[in-house]
Amino acid sequence: MFTKKIAGCIIIEKNKVLLIRKKSNNWFEIPGGTIEAHETPQQTAIREMKEETCCDVEILSLYQEQEFEHKGKLYHGTWFLGKISSKPEPKIGEPQEYSEIAFIPLEQLSEMAISPTVQNILLSIPASSQ
């Protein structure tokens, strides 16, 4: 079975994580997307962050790699920790796909509308991460 490769960037500031709400399912998710043929996972995370949040980011480290199934498809996700390196505040860069962008307190993640896969990724982040 084909495995779709994706990558994303987790931004944490003051114990809050930057998430975007997808219109199609109303869930908050980590900015990210499909790795294109000419890209590394890190390049994908940077590109997707710019497209989805209008922010430039600096990748700090590899956070996690995870294989999971969603709606009958296999995925291999590569997640990085990063920081915003541009001045503008994050804003929705793809309004046709996303309805909201917000910094969500880490301690409130278990109460949010987040996919189980994303919740597992984010709930393993220590609350003291910066």
* Confidence at 1, pLDDT banded by 50, 70, 90: low
Contact between 91 and 18 under an 8 Å Cβ cutoff? The reply is: no
Residue 129 belongs to some domain of the structure:
no
Q: Give the predicted TM-score (pTM) of the model.
A: 0.89
Residue 130 belongs to some domain of the structure:
no
Q: What distance in Å separates the CA atoms of residue 110 and residue 13, rounded to the nearest whole number?
A: 18
Residue 128 belongs to some domain of the structure:
no
pLDDT at 85: 92
| pLDDT tens sequence across 34-60 | 999 999 999 999 999 999 999 999 999
Helix, coil or strand: residue 55? coil
Looking at every residue in the chain, the average pLDDT score rounds to: 90
CATH code, 111: 3.90.79.10
Contact between 5 and 41 under an 8 Å Cβ cutoff? The reply is: yes
Overall number of domains in the chain: 1
pLDDT at 53: 96
When pLDDT is averaged across residues 77-105 and rounded to a whole number, the result is 92
DSSP state of 114: B
